[in-house]
Amino acid sequence: MNKSELIDAVASRTELSKAECTRVLDAVIESLTHALCQGDAVTLVGFGSFHVKNRKARTGRNPKTGAMISIPASRSLGFKPSKPMKDALN
């Protein structure tokens, strides 16, 4: 499901127009992004938790040449589904 399909699904289940659903979804995504960039965890009860993971700098190997390379420290997004979500998937 992509963003436009999600907007269509929400609009069909609510009395909101597609334009209103687009604004709401954009606001939700913007708020989630802002909170995660600040280092906060975001928990949506019944869905799951988003959190930021910090990866340390490390050395790796270029698979093509076999040369050692330096991989810089980075941040990545983690998601842990809630128990109801896990149960719904299984």
pLDDT tens figures, 21-43: 999 999 999 999 999 999 899 99
pLDDT-above-70 percentage for the chain? 100
Question: What value does the CA radius of gyration of the chain take, rounded to a whole number of Å?
Answer: 19
pLDDT score at 10: 94
pTM: 0.76
Cβ atoms of 73 and 50 closer than 8 Å: no
Cβ atoms of 69 and 62 closer than 8 Å: yes
Going along the chain from its start, the domains and CATH numbers come out as 3-89 (4.10.520.10)
User: Helix, strand or coil for residue 80?
Assistant: strand
Residues 6 or more apart whose Cβ sits within 8 Å of residue 32: 42, 50
pLDDT tens figures, 47-90: 999 999 999 999 999 999 999 999 999 999 999 999 999 999 98
